[in-house]
Amino acid sequence: MKPDALIEIDHVTFGYDASRLILDGISLEFPRGKVTAILGSSGCGKTTLLRLIAGVHGTNSGRVMFDGEPIDVRNRAQLFRLRRRLGMLFQFGALFTDLTVFENVAFPLREHTDLPEPLVRDIVLMKLNAVGLRGAAGLRIGEVSGGMARRIALARAIALDPELIMYDEPFAGLDLISMGVAAKLIRTLNDVTGSTSLVVSHDVPQCMAISDHVVLMANGGRIVAQGTPAELMASHDPETRQFTRGEPDGPVKFHYPAPDIAVDFGVAAP
């Protein structure tokens, strides 16, 4: 493992059942202190990759390494220790709707530390201030907009000052202003805290604007390309060009593999 890599994916294969592999022997390294975007079409294994890093699932084969240490999903003590070093922004926020904004952000501090309440209060207000929502601390989750909810979830994700922050579709469902705010926050937080950020997304322009490194995945659990944003945008590989430019025609087909339509409808093919 390279010394500048925080996470290493070493020949990892994973599938929820034996009939279909989500990831097929992939190897990746995510550089420490950088923003890495993981792009690809729906179902290619982007979110699954984050779950393996978080220890939600174990691999079928291969290893996931966190700072040189193999992740063992059977070792609960190790998982608890490693998860204190990472923050996760879930696709739909996963906020506790019966708690206030303040209580949501305070939750990981109370769960994982023994800090006195005055210090918890100060940390929560600082994290909310970092995402521009200190004034919303007393609101209920039902009183905030979708964009605000995403920022509250980000404040909660950084409450413990994690070394690794993983973002699952942070731009989904946001208007253009909220999307720009979220992208700026991801880049700024990474630079200010020195954390390592993994961003799973379909949004090519936002990811290319804020990322240091980009990984493009494809269905079948393959790595199509990786490099700097400039390198991927300049690529002549047909599959890479199709995804980065949003072209409807190319190696990635619209139709899922199926028999000839005449067979399904019981008529002879012409």
Q: What domains are defined for the chain?
A: 5-85+162-264 (3.40.50.300)
> % helix / strand / coil in the chain, to the nearest 5?
40, 25, 40
Q: In angstroms, rounded to a whole number, what is the distance separating the alpha carbons of residues 244 and 194?
A: 28
**Residue 147: closest CA among 125, 168, 132:** 132
Buried b (16+ CB within 10 A) or exposed e, 156-187: bbbbbebbbbbbbbbbeebeeebbebbbebbb
pLDDT tens digits along 110-121:
988 889 999 999
113 token code pair: 């530390």
Q: In angstroms, rounded to a whole number, what is the distance separating the alpha carbons of residues 13 and 135?
A: 46
Q: Are 21 and 14 in contact (CB under 8 A)?
A: yes
pLDDT value, residue 206: 87
105 token code pair: 């952000």
Q: What is the mean pLDDT of each run of 10 residues along the chain (270 residues)?
A: 81 82 89 91 83 90 92 90 84 78 92 90 91 89 85 87 88 79 86 90 87 88 88 86 73 67 67
pLDDT value, residue 252: 66
Q: In angstroms, rounded to a whole number, what is the distance separating the alpha carbons of residues 190 and 167?
A: 12
The 3-class secondary structure across 109-154, one letter per residue, is: HHHHCCCCHHHHHHHHHHHHHHCCCHHHCCCEHHHCCHHHHHHHHH
Q: In angstroms, rounded to a whole number, what is the distance separating the alpha carbons of residues 210 and 195?
A: 14
pLDDT value, residue 250: 62
Q: In angstroms, rounded to a whole number, what is the distance separating the alpha carbons of residues 121 and 92?
A: 25
- Give the chain's largest Cα–Cα span: 77
**Residue 122: closest CA among 102, 147, 142, 138:** 102
The pTM (predicted TM-score) of the whole model is: 0.82
